[in-house]
Amino acid sequence: MMQATLLDHDDTATTGETGPPEQPVTADEWATHLASAVPGPQTAAMLGLLERDGLSRAGRIDALKAWERHIAWIQAQQVGLLADIEADALEAVPNDFGWVDYDWNFACEDVACALKLSGNTAADRLAVATALEGRFPTTVGLLERGEICYLQAKAVAEVTGTLDPEAAGVVEAMVVPKMPGQSVGQTRRALNRAVLKADPRGAERRHRRRREDRTIWHRAAEDGMATWSAFLPTPQAAQLDAAVDAHAATFTEDGRTLNQKRVDALYDLVVNRPAGTDTPAGGTTPGGRSAAVVQVTVSMDTLIGVDEEPGQLKGYGPVSATAAREVAFAPGTIWRRLITHPKTGLLIKTDPTTYHPTAETQRHVIARDMTCTFPSCQMPAHRCDLDHIEPFNHQDPQAGGRTEPGNLMPLCRRHHLLKHRTRWQAERNPDTGEVTWTAPTGHTYTNPPHTPTPTHIT
């Protein structure tokens, strides 16, 4: 068993092996001590004494609590750092162009790349940290002492996000006394009740603000599945539930569970609307099917069944060869042939040197890169700007900055502005397709290339 030195309240050092009876000796005793101790650098140094093989069943529970308290302490330190990073980004420091764009804050790009997070997750972490540091010192104190977890602290920041500082402070004062004994769900419910009490007249105003955030998103899952979600007003959600349930009730009893029928009903209502119903611009295809476009990239060998290499479904990622073929041979499918390098698999093509890329060049770059080429960004390439890596020479196009796939990359509007209005720099390796970004801090981050297979189907 490891030995350690524990500083008692008199700041005199004794060892775990020879100390007085009240001091921890065994792994279980250390676990009990650290599960209730205020976490900090000194107690964190003792966590190595919680050797798993030396713990009893009860000791493992205490050790789990000890680790959780220290995780909260570490996360409190991160909250402070994130708030500092956000504050640094808001300082009026002129860039290389001699001016500052106050409408754009690129702190989340630094955080996203450093921690390998998505841009949205990094922005969320920064927003929560800034709110906690600026509005909720008591909550941060609880987190630092390990009395609550990060998700509880995050809930305080999120639930009060639409309140003014004074009302937010009232809410915090109402909930913090009970937070150490609550679960995350209980804390959220208590916060929601406190918000209604603190600002009952503002409920409708807050609802109008949140309505502006309504959105739909998706996330790829394992085994060819995905999560498809919506954030919308409660009445609309209730109407959607009712419509899905009503349509699912019309299905025959064929062995599907109720949840399976509800998913199939949702798909049928959205994609296979009956002919003659109102539809957005673009109309429907024969039979009433919505005019939607799904794109998959797959090798010709997989397409004809000679190989079983996975395809790439735009917006979701890899799919099985069977799923790719289902899309490929669906009614109304259009096939486009793309040429790839035989060794690297990278798309190769040269188009005319005009400032605006041709439609063929656009299709080529979009199919090659698939998403924005900033490391943390997953914005689909078809929603991005095509940026010249070497600036286009309007006076002499032959002198450099040619409008060809090798000198173009998709950048979402935010990261397009990042590249041209800040000290972030980007370089693309023409041989590997890797894009290397250099941050103003000097840190570098590499975005690996997609390697799409030759046949592209919509």
Please state which of the ranges 135-139, 199-203, 220-224 shows the lowest mean pLDDT. 199-203
At how many degrees (to 10) do helices 150-159 and 165-175 cross?
A: 140
Whole-number average pLDDT of the chain: 80
| Spatial distance between the Cα atoms of 217 and 232, rounded to a whole number of angstroms | 12
374 CA to centre of own chain = 14
Closest to 143 (Cα-Cα) out of 42, 75, 83: 75
**Above 90 in pLDDT, residue 222?**
no
Region 30-38: what's the mean pLDDT?
95
Please state which of the ranges 74-83, 132-141, 271-280 shows the lowest mean pLDDT. 271-280
pLDDT of the residue at 391: 82
- Which amino acid, 14? T
- Which amino acid, 351? D
Measured in degrees and rounded to the nearest 5, phi and psi for residue 445 equal -140, 135
Region 367-375: what's the mean pLDDT?
90
Domain ranges of the chain: 215-271, 293-458
HSE-up of 308 (CA within 13 Å, CB side)?
A: 2
Residue 292, classified by CB atoms within 10 Å of its CB into exposed (0-12), middle (13-18) or buried (19+), is exposed
At how many degrees (to 10) do helices 107-115 and 57-89 cross?
A: 150
| Structure confidence by residue, pLDDT tens digits, 378-419 | 888 988 999 988 887 766 666 667 788 888 999 999 999 899
Residue whose pair of structure tokens reads 């970004």 in the numeric block: 437
* Rg of the chain (C-alpha set): 28
pLDDT of the residue at 282: 43
Angle of CA points 331, 335, 341, to nearest 5°: 150
Residues, the chain, total? Answer: 458
Would you put residue 381 in left (φ > 0), alpha (ψ -120 to 50) or beta?
Answer: alpha
| Spatial distance between the Cα atoms of 295 and 163, rounded to a whole number of angstroms | 43
**Above 90 in pLDDT, residue 443?**
yes
Please state which of the ranges 53-62, 113-122, 336-345 shows the lowest mean pLDDT. 336-345
Region 204-214: what's the mean pLDDT?
81
| Spatial distance between the Cα atoms of 288 and 276, rounded to a whole number of angstroms | 7
| Spatial distance between the Cα atoms of 227 and 219, rounded to a whole number of angstroms | 5
Region 274-283: what's the mean pLDDT?
47
